[in-house]
Structure 1
Amino acid sequence: MFDPDIAPSGTLLGLLQRGRGDGTLHALTEQRAPALAALEQCVLRDPRGDWQVEARSLYYARLYSELEGGLDGIEQHLFAPEDLFDTDEHRTGLALSVLGHLAGYGRGDALRLLRAYAARGGNWEWALDELALRDDDAGLRALAPAVLGRFPATEDGDAELARALREAYEPRPWRLWAEDPVHGPRVRAAREQQSFDRWQRQLRPAGPAPGWSVRDVLTWAQDGLEAHPPVHRDAPAARCLAAVAGPEDRPELLAAALRGPEAARAAALRHLADRSDPGVYPLIEAAADDPSRLVSRAALDSFSRMRTPDALTRARVWARRDDGLGAAAARMLALLGGPGDADAVLAALRRVVRTDGPDADGLDVLVEGIGRLTIRCAAPVLRHLYRETSSSHLRGVAARSLAATDPKFGQGFAIECLWDCEESTRELAAHHAATKDVRVLAQLRRLAADPAEEAEVQTAVRGRLSTPEPHV
């Protein structure tokens, strides 16, 4: 995973990188030039650790609009020489998403830049998806020669065209091009090829077939690990075992989970845990510290998915450990435990933050458990995580738990959460932010009128605006 360089949380750059509401509020009171410079650095060097669970594009686009920022820096970044050979979507994806939102706000320069990049840029598929949501039919039809010209009229070119059509997130441009009298025949042929390829894959399955035994499935899993490059099949093999394994196969599966080769052992562990086999717990405990990362990961993942009373009882014993199995047990208590498990969950949260910092894996589950169990004395560590984590997803979880544990949340963090980059955090703030602060009602009205705002947020905002505040 990409490891971004995050500035301290007390700086404007650090706040903007984290997507905090205070980042917007500080940028609007900062001198315009340094504020735009910090904003542009965030857009051109994506600060997110995991773009699949963290939002930033609407947050940055709104600030570009507020500061009336120009797009020269984004244009230079998109068409830099690296675009010719650096095909990683991470380099340009955030900038293109920001342009998409700006185009949605009516910025014609953003729309023109997206069109130019879709025609000539390396990450053209992303730009085309953004245009599919915002451009008119005429603008999309005009891109057909440039986009389709990327694929030579050869067998390989036609295959690549069919692949591009299959992987397109937004089908609208392709549908328009399929109706075009000049380009339509080729696009329709690619669509037919796509359907034919899918049919062929269904006729020639590469995985297990009816009649396979438990040993066949375990061998298939191990063969994948020994291939070049290796293919991790332990999880799909476990699903296959659910279909082929019977009670008579239990001794073989227990033996494979104890001393089988890596992938077979991992698959057997997953299967036995999914079946809540009573003999799986010593096997998980032994495998959790195995030198093989594949085996140890399978053991921890398998235990984490268990939901039986026996698993919860075992978690209460293992939560005292300070290794991976102890962390997995603490997360299970956070998800399923009762009030009596509060001390163990809080101790695990403090231990992880102290040893691994505010961005450690698995913190979100522990933080959510703090809120579920309403552990009020955890508010200080939750505030620390809220301020310091670089993950906007984790910050949102911390905000929800603070709402459940900290009586001062409505007068504090909830107010800045109205400007947060995460939709769910803004929705939470709409329910809790105290309207005695003059900024709150103004921001609620802005969110209610913003066409780019998510429906859930607007529902919460309008509900809050229509409900009179109680007299104190």
Structure 2
Amino acid sequence: MSDEYEMSYARPDSVEGLLQRGRGLGAVRALRDPRRSAVFVYEGIRHDRRWDQTDERSLYLARLAVDLDLSPMPVVDQLAGDEEACLRACEVLELLALAGSADAREGLRAYVREGEHWVLVLESLSAAWPPEWWEDLDEVARARIGAEAELPWCSEPWTRFGIEVQTRPCVTRPSLAGLSTAELLALLADTRTEEAMRFDALRALKGREPAEGLIPLVPSLGTSDGRRPLPLLRRNVERLGALAVPAAHGWAQEGPPCLAQLGADVLADHAGPEVLPGLVNELAEQWTARAWCGPDRTARRLARFGPAAAGAVPYLRSFWLHTPHSYERAAYLEALAAIDGDGLEHVYAEALWDCEETTRLLGITSAPASPDTLDRIAVLRDDPMETAEVRAAARARLTAPTGQLP
């Protein structure tokens, strides 16, 4: 892995670098110098700095635009770019409109009337906005759809407008929700069961008590090409916990690569304290290599050992401070809390401003009940741009006695 500075990230202790990583500290510091920070916010909307598509940025950048009182017009102008730039701008503008920006709302509506990627934008608006904000664009949609090379795939808003959509040929499969766990396991064990039906059976099992009878079937539940486990198999095995460990020894030693990896992961997730030095060393090597994808799994394994894993703390703190892969940041904070929670109060307070929903949720439940943090939690509770889960958690925290854990 190349050094992070060779990957076009600014230094992690600069406002620009903090904003690129979606750190809460970046938002806090940007508010102290709005004029100098504005360029970094607009730059974050223009250029996608996410490490991968699981990372979140749109809400973070939209909230910064509101807090810094930035004009949405440069973002409206970005709609005229290529498809990716247009959709990045669209996501931010949708949120700004929800926060009350008339310019953002009208900029998107105007783009639907005249813009190149208007189909994708209108589909996005129909998912993000109340219907009364876009229903009156029906005549525009009917007038423009004939010039498109193909009919849209999504049902909304097109069927509401009376516009034909493409349909994917599909075979309706019966629901398996009514089957017993034993019947679902029998379907999985039957070699005549089609792969799609096996997936449905695994999905039905996921919502039930862990099924120990799944364990002997695991080696037969790979995809038809044998390269990976069926979707949801790993999640069902993880739910079995220590029950899967005896079988996992065999999978790891004798199975094909995909099964061997599943077995190795199960064993690593339930290993005893003898593996602790190796896990600390693994995290150290990941830090040396700047391996931004994967240390979150190592961090979760280390967290099981609590204070005994103290040797990992410097690396966990380094990953928290430096990683551009914001999706993994919550795992580092959870591991730090399990191993050595001293001095994390300011980290939890920073988490309230983080780009990732999972990290903000940690901040809401664990930030100290100071006036500043409770004020911030109140902002999250009332923010029309915020996710429903974060608003609900903030509401629960604030209705608990003196703002402590509900």
Considering the TM-score relative to the shorter chain, is it more than 0.5?
yes
Alpha-carbon distance in structure 1 between the residues aligned to 2:115 and 2:260:
48
C-alpha contact (below 8 Å) 1:55/1:392 kept by paired residues:
yes
Aligned match for 2:40, one of 38, 41, 44 = 38
Alpha-carbon distance in structure 1 between the residues aligned to 2:234 and 2:127:
39
- Hey, what does 1:100 align to over in structure 2? 94
Aligned match for 2:154, one of 167, 184, 202 = 167
C-alpha contact (below 8 Å) 1:132/1:140 kept by paired residues:
yes
Tell me the TM-score normalised to structure 1 length: 0.64
Alpha-carbon distance in structure 1 between the residues aligned to 2:281 and 2:385:
41
Task: Classify the secondary structure of the residue corresponding to 2:191.
Answer: helix
C-alpha contact (below 8 Å) 1:120/1:146 kept by paired residues:
no
Opposite residue 287 of structure 2, the aligned amino acid is V
Structure 1 277/109 Cα, relative in aligned 2: closer, same or farther at 3 Å? Answer: closer
C-alpha contact (below 8 Å) 2:76/2:107 kept by paired residues:
yes
Q: How far is the alpha carbon of 1:175 from its aligned partner?
A: 4.2
Q: How far is the alpha carbon of 1:310 from its aligned partner?
A: 4.5
Q: After TM superposition, list the pairs within 5 Å mapping 1:379-398 onto structure 2.
A: 379-398=313-332
Aligned match for 2:8, one of 5, 11, 15 = 5
C-alpha contact (below 8 Å) 2:93/2:105 kept by paired residues:
yes
The question of 1:449 aligning with 2:406 is answered no
Aligned match for 1:176, one of 160, 169, 194 = 160
Q: After TM superposition, list the pairs within 5 Å mapping 1:86-165 onto structure 2.
A: 87=83, 90-133=84-127, 137=131, 139-152=133-146, 160-161=150-151, 164=152
Encode CA deviations 1:368-399: one digit per residue, 9 max, x unaligned.
22223323332211111111110111112211
C-alpha contact (below 8 Å) 1:96/1:127 kept by paired residues:
yes
Q: How far is the alpha carbon of 1:354 from its aligned partner?
A: 1.9
C-alpha contact (below 8 Å) 1:358/1:385 kept by paired residues:
no
C-alpha contact (below 8 Å) 1:315/1:333 kept by paired residues:
no
Tell me the TM-score normalised to structure 2 length: 0.73
- Hey, what does 1:351 align to over in structure 2? 285
Alpha-carbon distance in structure 2 between the residues aligned to 1:469 and 1:105:
26
The question of 1:467 aligning with 2:401 is answered yes
Opposite residue 330 of structure 2, the aligned amino acid is G
- Hey, what does 1:366 align to over in structure 2? 298
Q: After TM superposition, list the pairs within 5 Å mapping 1:24-423 onto structure 2.
A: 24-30=27-33, 32-51=34-53, 53-80=54-81, 83=82, 87=83, 90-133=84-127, 137=131, 139-152=133-146, 160-161=150-151, 164=152, 166-167=153-154, 171=156, 173-178=157-162, 187=163, 190-191=164-165, 194=167, 198=169, 201-202=170-171, 243-244=191-192, 275=217, 298=228, 308-310=244-246, 312-313=248-249, 331-355=265-289, 357-360=290-293, 362-374=294-306, 375-423=309-357
Larger Rg: 1
Structure 1 93/418 Cα, relative in aligned 2: closer, same or farther at 3 Å? Answer: same
Task: Classify the secondary structure of the residue corresponding to 1:55.
Answer: coil
Task: Classify the secondary structure of the residue corresponding to 2:146.
Answer: coil
Alpha-carbon distance in structure 1 between the residues aligned to 2:378 and 2:189:
55
Encode CA deviations 1:244-301: one digit per residue, 9 max, x unaligned.
49xxxxxxxxxxxxxxxxxxxxxxxxxxx994559xxxxxxxxxxxxxxx99x759x9
Opposite residue 386 of structure 2, the aligned amino acid is E
Q: How far is the alpha carbon of 1:343 from its aligned partner?
A: 2.8
Alpha-carbon distance in structure 1 between the residues aligned to 2:216 and 2:116:
44
Q: How far is the alpha carbon of 1:452 from its aligned partner?
A: 2.8
Structure 1 124/370 Cα, relative in aligned 2: closer, same or farther at 3 Å? Answer: farther
Q: How far is the alpha carbon of 1:325 from its aligned partner?
A: 11
Encode CA deviations 1:206-239: one digit per residue, 9 max, x unaligned.
xxxxxxxxxxxxxxxxxxxxxxxxxxxxxxxxx9
Alpha-carbon distance in structure 2 between the residues aligned to 1:35 and 1:126:
31
Q: Return 414-423 or 449-458, whichever deviates more.
A: 449-458
Q: How far is the alpha carbon of 1:445 from its aligned partner?
A: 1.7
- Hey, what does 2:180 align to over in structure 1? none
- Structure 1: runs of 5 or more not aligned: 179-186, 204-238, 246-272, 279-293, 319-323
- Structure 2: runs of 5 or more not aligned: 173-186, 194-214, 239-243
Opposite residue 35 of structure 1, the aligned amino acid is S
Task: Classify the secondary structure of the residue corresponding to 1:54.
Answer: coil
Alpha-carbon distance in structure 2 between the residues aligned to 1:277 and 1:328:
10
Q: How far is the alpha carbon of 1:147 from its aligned partner?
A: 3.0
Q: How far is the alpha carbon of 1:469 from its aligned partner?
A: 6.7
Q: CA RMSD in A?
A: 3.9
- Higher-RCO chain (CA-CA 8 Å, sequence separation at least 6): 2
Structure 1 395/423 Cα, relative in aligned 2: closer, same or farther at 3 Å? Answer: same
- Hey, what does 1:435 align to over in structure 2? 369
Alpha-carbon distance in structure 1 between the residues aligned to 2:252 and 2:346:
35
Identity within the alignment, %: 28
Opposite residue 67 of structure 2, the aligned amino acid is E
